[in-house]
Amino acid sequence: MGKAVSVIVPTYNEKDNVARLVERIHTSLSDYDYEVVFIDDNSKDGTADLIQALSGKYPVKVVVRKDKRGLASAVADGISYVSGEFVIVMDADLQHPPEVLPDIFKALKNHEFVMASRYIKGGSPGQWTLSRRIVSLVANLLALPLAFKVKDRVSGFFGFRRASVDAKALNPLGWKIGLEILVRGRFGLVSEVPYTFARRSQGTSKLSKRIIWQYIRQLVKLYSYKFQILDFMIVGGIGYIINIALYSLLTLLPALKTFEFNQLGKPYYLPPFIVSSLVAIISNYLMNRAWTFRGWKERKGGFGRYLLMGLATLLLDMGFLFVLVEYCNFSPVPAAALAIFIVFLVRFIIARSWIWKRTPNK
């Protein structure tokens, strides 16, 4: 039987903190069926032995990694060693007060991800040097579009429902594993509970320039993951220009005008739209394949599917075009512009779910 809640604590040289940490966690979670799993990267100060000694008295265990180092990867690996329905991640150095654990656990009853937050009412970053404060604020701001519902996006103190996270899909670079899990997990409701970042009393912080650089690389990956729609939109934008340019050319061409097809009492404007859209669909397919969905698997008959989607949504497009011109007094070119935009989202959803498929580890 799994525990109700598992606490994952990454450690690197924290021997002077772990005993007090375990005691305080035990006091906070004594009403619950919990476990603490330490992921230690072969600390040189005997942290692991100390935890081992504590395991006789408390529900704690330690996993020692000899071949890897890194806070985020320690947490990501830790997920496969725990059994709880809910998982809470915290630091070992008591900067994350264990007394907040029950608040997180309670919030997890009706939320799938809970961030312990320094930037909501009741929370605080505590006594930090000005430079550290600025680094944290900038880091937090840079992640705003990735998780705008959360105020503290760079907190290392958070909880989640284990079943909502696929640990293999995580890219554990650097430190911000909370953000990584929040962006890549499948979470419905997300919330925050306040905490005050305590002073580190023993040992030293392991934050370095290299970690900051890794954060930038992580952000690039997360943005491209979360906002694939931006890539799709840029491709769509290029196709859109192709479409409108061709459409204007075809409708304005004097030779075509003299044909004077009289469709529903108006001059010829629908057939050129089919031609321009078809050209745009094909160029969009090629660009999406090479860029937006690179690394994804194309389903069988991908081009046929894309064409079919393009044509089906073109009908929808034409329906809008028709309504806008006939009933809303639009002239054809702006009407086409608006119509194409309206079906953009529909196409994106179909492309991601019916034409390309995410491959694991991507």
Strands (E), the chain: 5-11, 34-40, 60-64, 86-89, 113-117, 158-161, 190-194, 297-298, 356-357
Determine the Cα–Cα distance for residues 352 and 232; give it in Å rounded to an integer.
Answer: 10
Question: Taking a C-beta distance cutoff of 8 angstroms, is the pair 191, 111 a contact?
Answer: yes
Going by DSSP bridges, is the β-strand pair 158-161/86-89 parallel, antiparallel, or unpaired?
antiparallel
Three-state SS at 179: helix
Question: Taking a C-beta distance cutoff of 8 angstroms, is the pair 37, 7 a contact?
Answer: yes
Selected from 3, 5, 10, 170, the binder of ligand GDD by CB under 6 A is 10
192 touches, from Mn ion, ligand GDD, none (C-beta below 5 to 8 Å by class): none
**Scanning residues 286 to 305, which ones bind Mn ion (CB under 5 A)?**
none
11 touches, from ligand GDD, Mn ion, none (C-beta below 5 to 8 Å by class): ligand GDD
Selected from 5, 154, 165, 321, the binder of ligand GDD by CB under 6 A is 154
Selected from 60, 74, 100, 339, the binder of ligand GDD by CB under 6 A is 74
Q: DSSP states of 203-233 as a string?
A: S-----HHHHHHHHHHHHHHHHHHTHHHHHH
| Pattern 84-103, Mn ion, x by CB under 5 A | ---------x-x--------
266 touches, from ligand GDD, Mn ion, none (C-beta below 5 to 8 Å by class): none
149 touches, from Mn ion, ligand GDD, none (C-beta below 5 to 8 Å by class): none
In order of 196, 297, 314, 350, the CA distances from 353 in angstroms are 42, 11, 19, 5
Selected from 63, 92, 147, 183, the binder of ligand GDD by CB under 6 A is 92
| Pattern 263-302, ligand GDD, x by CB under 6 A | ----------------------------------------
Determine the Cα–Cα distance for residues 327 and 4; give it in Å rounded to an integer.
Answer: 60
* Nearer to Mn ion (CB atom), residue 200 or residue 297: 200
**Scanning residues 165 to 224, which ones bind ligand GDD (CB under 6 A)?**
175, 205-207
Going by DSSP bridges, is the β-strand pair 5-11/86-89 parallel, antiparallel, or unpaired?
parallel
Selected from 6, 136, 228, 313, the binder of ligand GDD by CB under 6 A is 136
Determine the Cα–Cα distance for residues 138 and 146; give it in Å rounded to an integer.
Answer: 14
User: Nearest 5°: CA angle at 221, between 185 and 105?
Assistant: 25
Interface with ligand GDD includes 12 (CB under 6 A)? yes
Q: Radius of gyration of the chain from Cα atoms? A: 27
Closest CB 55 distance from Mn ion, rounded Å:
23
**Scanning residues 13 to 52, which ones bind ligand GDD (CB under 6 A)?**
14, 39-41
* Nearer to ligand GDD (CB atom), residue 70 or residue 272: 70
Three-state SS at 66: coil
**Scanning residues 199 to 218, which ones bind Mn ion (CB under 5 A)?**
200
Which positions lie near ligand GDD, rule CB under 6 A?
A: 10-12, 14, 39-41, 69-71, 74, 91-93, 95, 136, 154, 156, 175, 205-207
Which positions lie near Mn ion, rule CB under 5 A?
A: 93, 95, 200
